[in-house]
Amino acid sequence: SPSHGGEYDVERNQMVNEVMADAAATASSSGTSALSPQVVAAMRKVERDRFVPGWLSSLAYLNRPLPIGHGQTISQPFIVALMTELMKVKAGDRVLEIGTGSGYQAAILGELAGSVYSIEIIEPLGNEAGERLKTLGYRNVKTRVGDGYYGWPEAAPFDAIMVTAAASHVPPPLLKQLKPGGRMVIPLGTQFMTQSLMLVEKKPDGSVATRQILPVRFVPLTGGH
Ligand code: SAM
């Protein structure tokens, strides 16, 4: 909005510098790559203060998860950047996100992909994020309320899929909706045990390779599946 005068630009750049330092440290310990210029540019552009509750906007550029209501969180910026990097999104890609939450991750993906489909199971969060993304002008991001375990079959197949809540296993419907050659990033594990961020690659021949990236802590993937 015109009243939003970039009051947090300095803080946002500081945050991105911290995220890049975290990514570089993780690259040497976990064999991931440093952040690409495209992911860095998206992180520098998207105004995270627009995606957190008003009373937390002054904390929006801490490199930390923050509460967004309904017992849910907006993820730590470093984790957002790392998961985005692992997806290797190319211009024109069709991307699916499970767990819209605030819509922040969807906006980051929207900066990089051709189209983004994002599903949230908590109706008020999903509706609010959808409105927010519309207001901010993300015409290439579609949201809907539902159980993301089953994916978005009408929009499949996807070049990349990101799950932003911890699941006990890779949901078979999501694997099915991933293109051969596509990548899925998903935290696996329970709420009470260490979870692992996993990179799942569907090879061009349809076989699946899974790699453990990093210990993480996410809210659980809920739903009736
Ligand atoms: N990506 C979000 C963002 O940028 O703000 C943060 C996601 S938060 C860590 C996880 C979200 O996944 C929560 O909003 C939660 O309600 C949602 N969720 C949990 N289970 C789900 C399911 N089965 N389908 C869709 N969303 C789900």
**Predicted pLDDT at 4:** 66
> In Å, how far are 37, 58, 88, 117, 128 from 145, measured between CA atoms?
32, 29, 26, 11, 11
Closest C-alpha among 190, 212, 165 to residue 65: 165
Q: Tell me the ipTM for this assembly.
A: 0.99
Q: What is the pLDDT of residues 77-102, one digit of tens each?
A: 999 999 999 999 999 999 999 999 99
> Looking at per-residue confidence, does 126 or 31 come out higher?
126
CA distance 158 to 118: 12
Q: What is the pLDDT of residues 109-160, one digit of tens each?
A: 999 999 999 999 999 999 999 999 999 999 999 999 999 999 999 999 999 9
**What average pLDDT does the segment 190-198 reach?**
86
> Looking at per-residue confidence, does 147 or 5 come out higher?
147
Is 101 close to ligand 1, i.e. is its CB under 6 Å away?
yes
pLDDT reading at 1 higher than 60: no
Q: Are strands 94-98 and 72-74 parallel, antiparallel or unpaired?
A: unpaired
For residue 142, the domain's CATH number is 3.40.50.150
Judge whether 126 and 145 are in contact, CB under 8 Å.
yes
Nearest atom, ligand 1, residue 221 CA: 20
| Percent of the chain with pLDDT strictly greater than 90 | 90
Closest C-alpha among 134, 212, 85 to residue 77: 85
Cis geometry, peptide bond prior to residue 157 (ω within 30 degrees of 0): yes
* Cβ within 8 Å of residue 213, ≥6 positions away: 30, 32, 82, 86, 196, 197, 198, 199
In a domain, 108, yes or no: yes
- Residue 104: domain span: 64-216
Is 72 close to ligand 1, i.e. is its CB under 6 Å away?
yes
In a domain, 196, yes or no: yes
Choosing from 100, 144, 177, 190 the residue with most ligand 1 atoms within 8 A of its CB, the one to mutate for a pocket test is 100
Is 73 close to ligand 1, i.e. is its CB under 6 Å away?
yes
In a domain, 98, yes or no: yes
CA distance 109 to 87: 10
In a domain, 84, yes or no: yes
In a domain, 23, yes or no: no
- The total number of structural domains in the chain stands at 1
In this structure, of 26-30, 58-62, 209-213, the range with the lowest mean pLDDT score is 26-30
